[in-house]
Structure 1
């Protein structure tokens, strides 16, 4: 029986591919949120608050795209590394901030 410390070769199977697809789906969902925010800002009054909120949403979206792209490139390796805690925190913060700013534009 081989345990975690015996040096056994781990077969990741399709798990990296599923994780890469999940990152793509999340990126697509964030892209849709940004497009809807831009649409709302263009149809709205065009107040400085709406324009500023939309700009912040676009910047958050770009930051999330950077984190997601880096992770998808890492998952393309034969033996992908684990997600760094800094990248995980960045992705979570971008997702939460994007949701909060999108909600403020809707109200």
Structure 2
């Protein structure tokens, strides 16, 4: 007995997952910029890295997040987003340690 896969739901879940990823990275970036603006010394470096990482992820993944096509990264977008997620996790830990 062969089951037929419903292709209608999986692409929608994938688009929503990419959008949640971009939203999460946007929030961490904004909090890091806030830390740089209010924290004084040492906040500009992490904020600059967060902005660069956010821009790279948006550039790489926008087509997938909006459902307008496949990103042109040769299948590397998931690995690149994973690397960015690790960097943002470290920035998130910095935000927690700094008390934001």
Task: Tell me the TM-score range normalised by the shorter chain.
Answer: 0.7 to 0.9
Distance 1:28 1:72 in 2: 10
Cα RMSD (Å): 2.8
Do 1:53 and 1:105's aligned partners in 2 also have CA atoms closer than 8 Å? no
Do 1:61 and 1:98's aligned partners in 2 also have CA atoms closer than 8 Å? no
Which among 69, 72, 76 is matched to residue 62 of structure 2? 69
Do 1:27 and 1:65's aligned partners in 2 also have CA atoms closer than 8 Å? yes
Unpaired segments of 5 or more residues in structure 2?
none
TM-score normalised to the size of structure 2?
0.76
Bigger radius of gyration: 1
Unpaired segments of 5 or more residues in structure 1?
4-8
- The answer to whether 1:88 aligns with 2:78 is yes
Distance 2:23 2:89 in 1: 14
Larger RCO, structure (CA 8 Å, separation 6 or more): 1
Do 1:64 and 1:94's aligned partners in 2 also have CA atoms closer than 8 Å? yes
TM-score normalised to the size of structure 1?
0.72
Q: How many residues align?
A: 96
- The answer to whether 1:23 aligns with 2:13 is no
Matches within 5 A, 1:1-107: 11-45=6-40, 47=41, 49-72=42-65, 75-76=67-68, 85-107=75-97
